[in-house]
A = this chain, B = another copy of it.
Amino acid sequence: MTAIKNPQESFVRVLYEFPKGLDPERQGRVLSIGQTVGSVSGETAGRFAPYQGILESVALLPNGRGQARVLYPAQNVSGDLGSLLVMILGKYSLAGPVRIVSLELPPGYGTKCRTGFEGIRERVKVTGRPLFMGIFKPALGLSPDDLARILREVGEAGLDLIKDDEILPDTPASTALSRIKACRPVLEEIERARGRAMLYAVTLSGRADRLLEEARRLREAGANAYLLSPFAYGLSVMEALASHPETNLPIFAHPAMAGALGGSPDYGFDMRVLLGTLMVHGGADAVLYPTSAGNLPIAPETERGIREILQSSGLAPVPSAGVHPGALPRFLPDDDTRIILNAGTGIMDHPGGPAAGVHAFYQAWDRMRNGGSFSPETLPDGPLREAVLKWGT
């Protein structure tokens, strides 16, 4: 094991995990050299040592899997996430199964968020309770006028935030600009009526240059939040979005494609790295991820890990997928209110309509705070009871 000569220097620290049968020490050495100087001869050993990765430790887990912790000099990369990914996984990803289970970056590495959870909370003027976010549904096929009508309905009912579905990009049938133009007057109306803003995260799409240009135009036209899928468009695109003065709006990062990078137990990244660490250093303000109480498979400890990483850096966790009013206590683990709870059909498909869906969430929040039961026979008639009868608790 190589001793660390200058521990005060800036390093990227990566914990890799390998399936049973692969020697973690051997793989750790391959990574520390192959992902830095490339090969070591007598000459390179001296002159190129400052660039070489360091195998810090190896471990064999009780289940037979191996781990190797490698330190990479931060000077080897450009301070961005693209060159980071090339260094820490890059070509080595083609060598066989390997999974990055933890990633520690120098504090200032990458791009920091500008708004964060506190900034979002200030804009919608909510404290002491979770924020509630909706999704326009159906995902495709609604006209800008449809969106404006739904927006008015849920805004008047008190919804804090709303977003496009991530699969609604900029298309001739529904340009992002037409959506903002139709919704901006309604957002202003809602803010006047209730004295606090409502955020609408509009989906960004297109090749990188057009996406960034469109983001500027949308903000000029009155957009007040962005929705971006960084694993489909590139973390480097989110970094750019989070950096320009003309695109200074809260960024909601969507986990689309994250399963391709983190679903397998033997390849890619742990979800805490993808939806936690890389978001913190990639400029996201709020991050959507599957809740373990919802309809997508995720372990509770993985969800907790993501939430803790986001919150410790001031980002907003946005548990999503299968969220509905009756199960509110399960969606707010540890009574944590520093989150944005995101519901699509759980609001829009409420038997009483979208406004009733919003009311049901507020009723659920009141009931939860007061320790009330959610069993249907104890619930008074109204939106929450209807929601529980449809979706359960």
Contacts and interface: CB of A to CB of B under 8 A. Distances in A.
A363 interface: no
Nearest to A255: B94
Interface in A283-335: 290, 296-298, 321
A63 B110 CA distance: 45
Contacts of A94: 255, 258-259, 263, 290, 296-298, 321
Interface string A259-280: 1110110111100000000000
Nearest to A268: B260
Contacts of A111: 207
Contacts of A86: 166-167, 169, 205, 229, 232, 254, 256-257
A80 B205 CA distance: 8
| From A232, A243, A258, A290, residue with most partner B Cβ within 10 Å | A232
Interface residues of A, number: 87
Interface in A221-235: 229, 232-235
B229 A208 contact: no
Interface stretch (A9-17, A37-45, A378-386): A37-45
A51 interface: yes
A297 to B, nearest CB: 6
Interface in A335-352: 344-345, 349
A125 interface: no
Contacts of A41: 349
Given A37-B140, A82-B211, A96 B297 contact: yes
Interface stretch (A149-157, A170-178, A367-375): A170-178
A137 B43 CA distance: 12
Interface of A: 35-39, 41, 44, 47-48, 50-51, 75-78, 80-83, 85-87, 89-98, 111, 137-141, 165-167, 169-173, 205-212, 229, 232-237, 239-240, 243-244, 254-261, 263-264, 266-269, 290, 296-298, 321, 344-345, 349
